[in-house]
Each structure stands twice: as structure tokens, then as C-alpha cells.
Amino acid sequence: SAVISQKPSRDICQRGTSLTIQCQVDSQVTMMFWYRQQPGQSLTLIATANQGSEATYESGFVIDKFPISRPNLTFSTLTVSNMSPEDSSIYLCSDRHQGSYGYTFGSGTRLTVV
Amino acid sequence: GENVEQHPSTLSVQEGDSAVIKCTYSDSASNYFPWYKQELGKRPQLIIDIRSNVGEKKDQRIAVTLNKTAKHFSLHITETQPEDSAVYFCAASNPLGSGSARQLTFGSGTQLTVLP
């Protein structure tokens, strides 16, 4: 399975600012996803990152708030924009290889907005 | 879209006893059902998965059963140990399908506590 490097691992940010989270995969993958995990909760899909085109967002998540880039098959970024304390959460990237059933997760970014 | 329900939300067992966590799914097109273990502050780790072409899969103390007709699947942990304490998530998807079916949809999680 792929190895995903995610950074930063944690950050404390001021409200109104933005944070960009990066994920790098060690081999080419078909699909990359971004999840949010609020404290004590399950994982909620934010969007599917599409290579070279706009991400596909889930209900309740919009591009202006969570812009996503995926310039190639091994790298993606998620930006949390104009942050408020409600954005405090863990953000995780995930991937799946072509023809494979398994999904792998990055180590997560613990974001605290003050 | 897919909807996955998971029960119970918390489960406490004595060391050495068995633990069972149950999930149901809604989309009959789903054909891949992984289980993840998440320890505090860490990423979800795949512990076992099952595809819809089999009804049961076992790996040492962990087993998963799948009933496609009833659309439910279960995680069984035998001879539990304190290090099994964690949050367990079930999930469902159709990885080789199209559109949103390829996404992993997670259950709400079960906090398992194994008491020594």
C-alpha cells in the first residue's frame, strides 16, 4: 500500500487566517480524498481531489472555504480558509491505488483555531 | 448515497472476553467493507477488510462476517487484550465503481474498552 506523508502534523492558527495542508504519496494513486474528523466524531468526507481539475465537494463543503489542489498523481493540498474556532478539527488525506480496494490515510493535521 | 450505521457506540469487555461490533449499510452496490482501528491521536489503521464475494474472513483474533442480503457486517474480536482498546470504525464503498460510490463512507465509531 502507499505511504502518505502529511504536513503539518498540527498547528494553532488565529481566526481569519488560512492554513494549507499538504499530502505527498510515494507512488501514483488513482484517487485522493480529504476528510475532517471533529473531536470524538467519525470521519466526514470533505471532497475528492481530482488531478488537474476542480475537486468534487460533498454536501456542506464549498470550494471557497476548502480550496483543494491536485497538480499531479502524487500530491494534493487542502486549504482551510478564513478560519474560525469551529474549524478546529483533525484533517486527514487518504488515497486509493488504481485497481486496488484498499485506502490509506495520512497521519492527520490537528488544527486549533484561536 | 451510502449510509453506514454502527452499533454500539461504546463497548466495555473484560480482558479475554469477545467483542462484537455491528454495522449496516444502505447501498447494495457497495462491495468492500473495511474496519479501521484508531488509537488516540493517531490515524485510522486498517485491521481487516472483506469483499462481497465472501461471507467471512479471519485474521488471528479478528474476524469479519458479511450478510449481503441483510446488508450488514460485523467485527468479532476474540480473547481481547487491553491493547485492543481504541475506537473502531466500519466503512463501505465500491472502490472500482463510479462517482460517489468510490468513496469510503464511515460508520459513527465504537469506543472499545478492554478492562484488565
Work out the pLDDT band at B97, boundaries 50, 70, 90. Answer: confident
Q: Which of B42, B93, B107 sits opposite A42 (nearest CB)?
A: B107
Residues in chain A with CB shorter than 8 Å from the CB of B89 are: 42-43
Tell me how far CA of residue B47 lies from CA of A50, A89, B64, B72, B114, in angstroms.
Answer: 28, 24, 10, 18, 17
Residue whose cell numbers read 465504537: B110
The per-residue DSSP string of B56-107 comes to EEEETTEEEEEETTTTEEEEEE-S--GGG-EEEEEEEB-TTSSGGGGS-EE-
- Where do the DSSP E strands lie in A38-87? 43-49, 56-57, 68-72, 75-80
Residue whose cell numbers read 505511504: A3
- CB-based contact B57:B48 (threshold 8 Å): yes
**What are residue B86's DSSP bridge partners?**
B112
Q: How far is CA B95 from the centre of its chain?
A: 17
pLDDT over 80 at B90, yes or no: yes
**Does the distance separating the beta carbons of B105 and A45 come in below 8 Å?**
yes
Q: How much of chain A, in percent, has pLDDT values that exceed 70?
A: 96
> What SS3 state is found at A87?
helix
pLDDT over 80 at A97, yes or no: no
pLDDT over 70 at B34, yes or no: yes
Chain A from 71 to 90: CB within 8 A of any B CB: none
With an 8 Å Cβ cutoff, is A101 touching chain B?
Answer: yes
What CA–CA distance (Å, rounded) separates B34 from B49?
A: 4
Grid coordinates of B116: 484488565
Q: How far is CA A49 from the centre of its chain?
A: 9
> Mean pLDDT, chain B, as a whole number?
94
What is the average per-residue pLDDT within A62-66?
A: 97
Residues in chain B with CB shorter than 8 Å from the CB of A92 are: 43-44
Closest-CA residue of chain A to B95: A101
With an 8 Å Cβ cutoff, is A60 touching chain B?
Answer: no
The number of beta carbons lying within 10 Å of the beta carbon of residue B24 is: 18
Chain B from 19 to 48: CB within 8 A of any A CB: 32, 34, 41-46
- CB-based contact A20:A77 (threshold 8 Å): yes
Residues in chain B with CB shorter than 8 Å from the CB of A89 are: none
DSSP A85: G
Q: Best interface-test mutation with A: which of B49, B87, B103, B110 has the largest number of A CBs within 10 A?
A: B103
Tell me how far CA of residue B15 lies from CA of A48, B21, B66, B115, in angstroms.
Answer: 40, 16, 26, 6
Q: Which of A42, A45, A102 sits opposite B89 (nearest CB)?
A: A42
**Does the distance separating the beta carbons of B109 and A41 come in below 8 Å?**
yes
Closest-CA residue of chain B to A50: B99
Distance from CA of A68 to the nearest CA of B (A): 17
What pLDDT digit, counting tens, does each position of A2-46 carry?
Answer: 789 999 999 999 999 999 999 999 887 778 999 999 999 999 999
What CA–CA distance (Å, rounded) separates B41 from A56?
A: 28
